[in-house]
Chains A and B, each alone.
Chain A
């Protein structure tokens, strides 16, 4: 098992190097001159040139790249030009915010989507099957910013049940001491239930927004793969042996049907992590998605590169986790380690 993990991590290195090169080139190819941007609209040409020289943009591309990768090797992702903060520190504080939101969204979505898919598959043509179809269609066709805004309108503006969509905590609560970076977890560790309540109430709406969106692929996949497995020979054997429907569905059908669902989950998760920019915007969430987009607009190279690299590493780790999970569920995969 450990050898397999090690091998997989080794295989990931070339792709990470590829990601570093491609993002470096892409950010350089972007339109816009960061030096001019920083010097401001009133700056003289000399001032712009001076800034460019200071930032090292006057050097040949290859030299810039060597400097960038040497810094990278030392764990230095550079500094943002807009905020002046080191990128690594920014990512470290913003990544947990995005991850907490995405994870909670995903959990909510799994809790709803998987039972929905299973029930729809075991009762095709019933009202629950139709409910599944309607929910999933609605989920994919409504854009996240729209559902987000509707939720804010209804639950904050109209009903007043949820707090103002302004960040991770309301203004009167202070953040719990950082352990994991996830406020919910940190608040529990610090036994600060006030902070926990506040963090949770801030989280619910954006998490639900994400959940509605990610519900569709998970529910559809669960339904499809359950239907396929329920039609298979070994389920027939189980039924012919007189096993109870619960046993057939849970132990025989569901565990087998999970395999493609897990693959879908990993895709949905990695997709959500980067793509929830709109949700972060709507709820003023200090996550990495909004950070990257702001940096991109400002032609601020370092944060963009840092963001892409972080995502690539996350993606590699996520895939590794999925493969390990696969091996736990499916004994056939274990042999190929």
Chain B
């Protein structure tokens, strides 16, 4: 650290001019990155980690500006540099990889041409023929098979992982000195995540490049970074070597983040923040930042007992009697037998034909998204359905939900064959209220023109028996209390709620009709870890108090391990392994399950 660092950010403050005045997104941030060093910037959404990197590249929006401090990159003052100097810097000296690789590429331009655009900008002497070869070479370096063909592919013809490789090829085409990777693997499967991260490390190490890895995933930062910078609300709260920071986190926020990260050897309760005796239960909309009122109550109100009676039990006697678990020869709540879903191979055929010189596809006419799977869910049981994208887990949940017709197979729900009911008519049956769903994206799954109360009331108005405005309102408030959503937020619209609050609205809507089975489709994938911890605990509590069964669709094995009794591992439409969570995830029998497990970056256990 004696030599001058490659990137030196000192006292950086970034301001955004908004309608409500000036917002300081980043305040007094100091970050330095040495040559060949990998630095992780870790923080939850809104911590200013992306804004910091945009400031380094000087690609802030029009509304944002560097208000104070300095950014020096190998001796160049980034703040004072002219726009054309910056253009030479971007892509050639510093380059970036973004989250959501598919959107980061121009959808209507061949990927090879996009790489050539960068080469043309920065490498003057290259000849026209040379450039094409160089682009193909760049694609080969990121280990894209058949790079020569893929040169002519459009982003929509490639998978998410493949698109990220193209983005990496784009970023590394001109051999920059610093690579900024902004959540490069969010939204990718664990195995793809591992492949992409390993590739980044391999390529940057070989070129002795420096890397900034921006992530919300502590495990990822721990596994790949030399040093970690933890940011909270626009400030750096801790900077340390990654080995040190995980062994002995100094700042309370770092400890909280580490606690909330699902990992081996902990229970759901362990994810919640330690009890803070000074904190009083908050009624306003900030419940998510310090754990929900519900969770707080569970710790404060009931002592050491892990069981939680939903908020405020006295004036509102628990409307859902806890179901006594009668173990006996009762049939399972849901049983699925030899379920098959086939799709015509249209799109894939066209694409293959394109790749292989327009020959007609010789494969079979149909594509089996779900290939004869059988499983069952008992009353009060939660079953995890895991697998990578495209394995058919979402298709399966859609068929159980009757949003999609199966090609063949039987779906028995609570003693009735619901598989024979057409999706269109199922929506109007009373049976429909027994199966509910919580969706992946809490924002997109709420009608932006409905208030929280209206969204929660929706299923009741469709299928419920509560009539009258006041009764409906009372029920909504009851449900809001149940899921730990402050009642005064019920009249807000989705955009006025935080991610965790929106997730609660989605859950309240799903449990409004006392369902027997709730399908949870990655309900926490879009949430920060601390919010995820609270929501997972909430789901667990609700399951126990209402006696529901869960079908939990997820790609996060750590979360599944915490929440589910049993787990089903799917691959390419088939079940490769199923059994008790502890058993399957602790001692996997199938090679694929093992592969999934080893791909998870493991954060070191916090010192307790």
Contact = CB atoms under 8 A, between A and B. Distances in A.
Contact of A256 (B59, B100, B107, B351): B107
Contact of B117 (A124, A233, A240, A247): A247
Interface in B54-77: 57, 59, 62
A153 interface: no
Interface in A306-335: 329-332, 335
Given A124-B62, A330-B108, A332-B108, A240 B95 contact: yes
A234 B104 contact: yes
6 contacts: A233-B103, A240-B91, A240-B98, A243-B87, A244-B121, A247-B121
Nearest to B84: A244
B59 A240 contact: yes
Contacts of A232: 103
Contacts of B91: 240-243
B121 A243 contact: yes
Nearest to B155: A234
B98 A332 contact: no
B350 interface: yes
Given A255-B109, A256-B107, 9 more contacts: A234-B104, A236-B104, A237-B98, A238-B106, A240-B91, A241-B170, A242-B92, A244-B121, A330-B107
A251 interface: yes
Q: Identify the interface centre among A240, A251, A252: most chain B CB within 10 Å of its CB.
A: A240
A280 to B, nearest CB: 39
Given A124-B62, A237-B167, A242-B92, A252 B106 contact: yes
Contacts of A252: 106, 109
Q: Identify the interface centre among A243, A247, A251, A255: most chain B CB within 10 Å of its CB.
A: A243
Contact of B108 (A240, A241, A331, A335): A331
B580 to A, nearest CB: 42
A240 B86 CA distance: 10
Interface of B: 57, 59, 62, 86-92, 95-96, 98, 100, 103-109, 117-118, 121-122, 154, 156, 167, 170-171, 347, 350-351
Interface string A113-127: 000000000001000
B156 A332 contact: yes
Contacts of A242: 86-92, 118, 121-122
Contacts of A239: 59, 90
Contact of A332 (B95, B107, B121): B107
Closest 3 pairs between A and B when the two form their complex, measured CB to CB: A242-B91, A242-B90, A241-B91
Contacts of A244: 87, 121
Contacts of B90: 239-242
A240 B90 CA distance: 6
Contacts of B351: 335
Contact of A237 (B89, B96, B347): B96
Given A251-B117, A331-B108, A332-B156, A237 B170 contact: yes
Given A244-B87, A335-B351, A238 B117 contact: yes
